[in-house]
Amino acid sequence: MGIEQMIPSLAGEGFFTTQINKVIGWARKNSLWPYPFGTACCAIEMMATLNSRYDLSRFGTEVIRFSPRQSDLLIVSGRVVLKMMPVLTEIYQQMGEPKWVISMGACASTGGVFNTYPQIQGVDQFIPVDVYVPGCPPRPESLIDAVLKIQQIIDGQAERGEFTRPTVEAN
Amino acid sequence: MSEAVKPEPKLPPTHDAHAKSPRVLEENQLDHDLLRRKFGALVTDIRTEYKQTVIYTTPANVVKALAIAQGDPELNFNMLTDITAVDNMRRADFDPEKRFTVIHTVYSVPNKKRIRFETVVGESDPRVPSAAAVYKGAAWVEREVFDMFGVIFDGHPDLRRVLMPDYYEHFPLRKDYPLTGRGERDNFVRAEELG
């Protein structure tokens, strides 16, 4: 399972030791319940990811919840406009801790091609984002990769903010 | 010197074929004399532009003209296709008294005819009477025109914004409003700061 620690003196005794946060993280990362904030074409790719061909349930993420109070992963997939941003903030606030956010696609991450008056130029200005998914729209493989990165954050292999840190120094 | 014989340029057939299309003729040509007889002094001009019948009218008369177009058994324009507006601000011959052109497009389903009514209103007081009493569906599209251009429809049952949020202060499709807005899209509070 990847959470056990073997202590040599206990080898072969029929039990193993571990840490409580590792056990909880192991349970959490394999039963993520996503809230689909689908507002545009990225949501179609998200549905494709959930379908049997790409089958996100292989990673334990198949229980889509339409109530933020029952979910721990917010997938922002699509454009967010002026009228929608307070709704998104409220949904984020209603989700119980611990919670993670995927910003899927160019529009959710940066505003995309819509440099216009109602379009939010990146939801990360107003809610914290853990993983960005590039693409317009991203392929289902990209979203699966993002979910795997969220799993890495949950079980402690990666720090929070590791995937949103700039990899190139700004000049 | 003998002139070389140039082959005659072969034009694509599209434009000519379009002009001869019976469907286009049937749908768009309306007899101007008939329209003048029906509308009388309510209209200022009747023209056919790009094979479309356009009736120019005034804010005071546009709804009366629409009522005739809908109620007259011969005209029978029973469907309101759309109401929209044009901001004339960037035109070379711009006149503040002709800032907006409000456009009512009506269609006759039995006769397969279409008319566009154009009404010019000024910048200082852009008011047009509401057509909601004539065409019920006008109420929604008039709200859109009000939301985007700030044209006020007198007698409208419920003239509120429909696309933009209620607190919005500007009319985004006016030409003097910048495409990227005036900072409204950056003016939210972060979720963590809301507590």
Contacts of B178 in chain A (CB under 8 A): 117
A51-95: pLDDT as tens digits: 999 999 999 888 888 999 999 999 999 999 999 999 999 999 999
* Cβ contact A117–B185 (<8 Å): yes
Q: Which residue of A has its CA nearest to B181?
A: A117
For residue B64, the model assigns a pLDDT of: 92
Q: What whole-number percentage of chain B has pLDDT above 70?
A: 87
**Number of separate domains in chain B:** 1
Mean per-residue pLDDT pooled into runs of 10, chain A (171 residues): 69 76 87 92 92 91 90 93 93 92 93 92 92 93 94 87 78 62
Q: Closest partner residue to B180 among A82, A116, A128, by Cβ?
A: A116
B182 min Cα distance to partner chain A (Å): 8
Contacts of B185 (CB under 8 A, 6+ apart): A82, A117, A118, A119, A120, A121
Confidence of residue B183 (pLDDT cuts 50, 70, 90): confident
A100 contacts chain B (CB < 8 A): no
B123 min Cα distance to partner chain A (Å): 23
**Sign of the C-alpha dihedral, residues B37, B42, B45, B49?**
negative
Q: Kindly state whether residue B6 falls inside one of the protein's structural domains.
A: no
Give contacts of A 48-87 with B, CB under 8 A: 82-83, 85-86
Angle between helices B62-71 and B32-39 (to 10 degrees): 110
Q: Kindly state whether residue B84 falls inside one of the protein's structural domains.
A: yes
Where residue B101 sits, what CATH number does that domain have? 3.30.460.80
B38-52: pLDDT as tens digits: 898 899 999 888 778
B188 min Cα distance to partner chain A (Å): 7
Give this prediction's pTM.
Answer: 0.81
Q: Kindly state whether residue B186 falls inside one of the protein's structural domains.
A: no
B110-155: pLDDT as tens digits: 888 889 999 999 999 899 999 999 999 999 999 999 999 999 999 9
Q: Which domain holds residue B95?
A: 26-169
| CATH of segment(s) A33-150 | 3.40.50.12280
Q: Kindly state whether residue B155 falls inside one of the protein's structural domains.
A: yes
Domain ranges of chain A: 1-30, 33-150
Q: Kindly state whether residue B145 falls inside one of the protein's structural domains.
A: yes
Residues B153 and B66: beta-carbon distance below 8 Å: no
